[in-house]
Amino acid sequence: MLVFEDKLEGKKQQYERLDEAIRTARFVRNSCIRYWMDNKVVGRYELSAYCAVLGKEFPFAGKLNSQTRQAAAERAWVSIITLRRWLDVARF
């Protein structure tokens, strides 16, 4: 794996906006996981549709562009798949 590292040199306002975007993406991810927990038949595409609903329902989530919300939903789906695999292994 190739990893690039760099240091940011920004203003306080830029750091605050970056932190806000990270918190909002986590909110979308956690909301998608919660939605899946409440509706076990939900799949990857329903989570993608749900992140659009979150964007309309919560103004701060609407500030993120759709691609960022979709990425958060994809991360949620990967977490769900990982949890399912872990639970299957734990049963044995």
Q: CB 84: neighbour CB atoms within 10 A?
A: 10
- pLDDT score for 28: 94
What the block records as the tokens of 27 is 């909110």
Confidence check: pLDDT of 8 > 90: no
Residue 83 burial (CB count, 10 A): 13
Q: Which residue has the tokens 């769900």?
A: 80
Give the model confidence (pLDDT) of 30-76 as tens digits.
999 999 999 888 888 999 999 999 999 999 999 888 899 999 999 99
| Sequence letter at residue 50 | Y
Cα separation of 76 and 33, whole Å?
A: 6
pTM: 0.81
